[in-house]
A and B are shown apart, each in its own frame.
Chain A
Amino acid sequence: MKQLHIWGFCISVFLIQWDLSAQNTVSPTLANATIDSLEVKPKPPMSLRFGADLFRLVRSQYEDDYSGFEVVADFRISPNFYLATEFGNEVLTKQSEQVNFTTEGSYYKIGFDLNMFENWQGMDNQVILGLRLASSSHNQFLNAYTLLDRTPFWQNPEDQITSGFATGARSDLNALWFEVIAGFKVELISNIYLGLSLRLNRLLNDTVPENFENIHIPGFNKKTEDNNFSAGFNYSLSYRIPFRAQKN
């Protein structure tokens, strides 16, 4: 809820500034138009776009064991090239076969998007191929586990160990990975974009918690044994601030 308020504030601030700057940009171009006979080379349409992932917000609502958010932003520096970033936070409790754990932490991703789509005049949609370098800082809490005992004699092998021994927190963990992204962004109405991106993640490095494993890494998702890959996606709604419009 607090996050929502912060967003509301940011959006309003940006809106006001955009409004103010738009007022004094018209007259010089009109004055020069009659004098300058050379064609003005169009400058790249720089624009800042920011938004939030809808899936994580919705999932936080309907799933008790999950709460998280992801904010996204990209900055267009040439017609088909964007600097892009994501920032997110996740708290997830999961029963993974014999182990019950909670992962909590945040992550950020920095990289670029390339637009592969040639728009018709007036359209601004993107088919995106992108790359990100991502890093997380997280904690793992081992809540409960069972002991592997195929020939039980004294006890029920289903018994959960919920305290002492290996249970407890493993803090100050990190992970580093990169993501290959394919996706699209569609302009729904003026300056509002809906985007879907699929991500293939390749783990580069992670601090392995003592006597445990990073079964889930915030932002990276599930880490499997003997495999450095994972996958993820986001479904974002973004707002664009066009602070240098393309001249036609």
Chain B
Amino acid sequence: MRSINFNLTFLLLSLLFFLHCEKDDICITSIQESPDLVILLLNESEGTRQTPPGFTIRPIGTEKQLIQRTGDSLPLPLKLSESNTQFEFITNTGSPDENIDTLQINYQRKDQFINGACGYRANFILDKTAPIFLLNAGNNWIKGAVILKDTISDETTAHLGILY
């Protein structure tokens, strides 16, 4: 009886030691990071989604360039420390008809807990009344914007439609 008890206790003790091992906290890459704003360029007169000819976007306040992408939906990184980010939207880049519209995107940041290893993800909520401001007066090629999805929590669908 006594030796059985001893063995049982020893077994439980060693079991406890093994179970003490815990997995490391690693933020795996499949976890969605802080999303970018996905915009869609909408041609109002023709009713199509397409980028205008010679279209480029230049971020204001940095030397960095955005990665140029083809396609009608474009991801724009938003500033985390401020509640607005400004970009220059340019059509007919380089040609005599070049038209630069300075656009300010207004939003609120809301941080969402992922887990201890990854920390938080910044989500954004577009300003409902004025998602964009056009900062340059006159001769705007951009006509307006429509909110497609006001909460920016992933990059799977477009959030903001830019009408021109």
Contacts and interface: CB of A to CB of B under 8 A. Distances in A.
Interface stretch (A20-28, A85-93, A211-219): A211-219
11 contacts: A98-B116, A116-B5, A118-B2, A127-B5, A146-B119, A161-B111, A182-B12, A198-B20, A212-B113, A213-B113, A231-B20
Would you list the 4 A-B pairs with minimal beta carbon distance, nearest first? Answer: A98-B119, A153-B77, A116-B5, A182-B12
A147 B118 CA distance: 8
A97 B34 contact: no
Interface of A: 96-99, 116-118, 127, 129, 145-151, 153-155, 159, 161, 165-166, 180, 182, 198-200, 211-213, 215, 222, 224-225, 227, 229-231
A211 B34 contact: no
A104 B144 CA distance: 51
Nearest to B118: A148
Contacts, number: 120
A191 to B, nearest CB: 24
Contacts of A227: 22-23
Contact of A224 (B23, B77, B119): B23
A213 B115 contact: yes
B141 interface: no
A149 B23 CA distance: 23
B111 A165 contact: yes
Contact of A200 (B16, B33, B109): B16
Contacts of B113: 166, 211-213
Interface string B91-131: 00000000000000000011111111111111000000000
Contacts of B20: 198, 231
Contacts of A146: 119-120
A97 B19 contact: no
Contacts of B121: 147-148
B14 to A, nearest CB: 9
Contacts of A149: 33-34, 80, 122
Interface in B46-79: 59, 62, 64, 66, 77-79
A147 B27 contact: no
B33 A148 contact: yes
A165 B31 CA distance: 21
B22 A148 contact: no
Nearest to B117: A97
A198 B16 contact: yes
B6 A166 contact: no
A137 to B, nearest CB: 22
B8 interface: yes
B45 interface: no
Contact of A154 (B9, B17, B77): B77
